[in-house]
Amino acid sequence: MLILLPPSEGKTRPQEGPPLALDELSFPRLTPVREQLLRTLVKLSSGNSKRAAEVLGLGPTQSDAIAVNAVLPDEPTARADAVYTGVLFTALDPATLDADARRRADESLAIASALFGLVRPSDHIPAYRLSGTVSLPRLGPVAGRWRTPLPRVMAEAVGDGLLVDLRSGTYTALGKPPAELADRTATMRVLHEHNGQRKVVSHFNKATKGRIVRGLLEAGADPRTIDELQTTLADLGWTVERDGTRLDVVVDEVAHT
């Protein structure tokens, strides 16, 4: 099973650690695009800061992020699951997983990234700022750079197993699962049901997905089909309905991280 997670815009900047080594990251097939994007991002961030902010969609209070981008190759790195600190990762809380669950996380999770394509939780990366919606000078849309290599990497990583795609729309656009994985790709939606009405709540959606992934890791679950995944989630206490390849997790209480 391969579970694809979205990244988080919020990141914790490592205070110490080795510099970025692209050739040591997982999924080496992605290295050429990583090198190209990193070079362009550093060049952009090293120039006119106002233009860099406009291109990257950053506000006036985020000038520090541009300064960090300008020196990314020399920035300290840490495990990706310690750098990403958004809602989903807070709920997943990987640092508190036991050793076996942490090992399963390193083997079965991959985190989408506009800069790196995909990384494993154990890959060491710096805190960068680059969204999947950005269009870089000369290179054009970041998403366009990933659409060819990412599906191939997904297929290699999944093998004959199950792909669970929990990425947001922005990061799904970097590369959709290839056609041969269509019947083995599960997506997930979290619905809050109250007084007979159901709706998607973004913040809660992310937190619940983090808790679901944590539960799968702690249980040592390795479903091979979408049906098996639905059964596993039900066994873990979730109310799950299937609609094609999408699983709807229905909750009646908005829990928080």
- Look up residue 70 and give its two tokens: 């300008």
Per DSSP, the residues of 111-180 read: EEETTTEEE-TTSEE------TT-EETTTEEHHHHHTTHHHHHHHHHHTTS-EEE---HHHHTT-PPPGG
pLDDT score of 257: 46
* pLDDT tens sequence across 14-42: 999 999 999 999 999 999 999 999 999 99
Q: Specify the long-range contacts of residues 132-141, CB closer than 8 Å, at least 24 apart.
A: 132/170, 132/171, 132/173, 132/174, 133/57, 133/170, 134/55, 134/56, 134/57, 135/55, 136/37, 136/40, 136/41, 136/44, 136/55, 137/40, 137/44, 137/55, 138/40, 139/36, 139/37, 139/40
* pLDDT tens sequence across 148-189: 999 999 999 999 999 999 999 999 999 999 999 999 999 999
Q: Are the CB atoms for 3 and 110 separated by under 8 Å?
A: yes
Q: What angle do CA 155, 19, 60 make, to 5 degrees?
A: 90
pLDDT score of 255: 52
CA proximity to 122, closest of 10, 211, 214, 26: 26
Weakly modelled stretches of the chain, pLDDT under 70:
202-203, 253-257
- Look up residue 236 and give its two tokens: 């873990």
pLDDT score of 62: 85
Residues 6+ apart with CB under 8 A from 155: 177, 178, 180, 181
Q: Beta partners for 152?
A: none
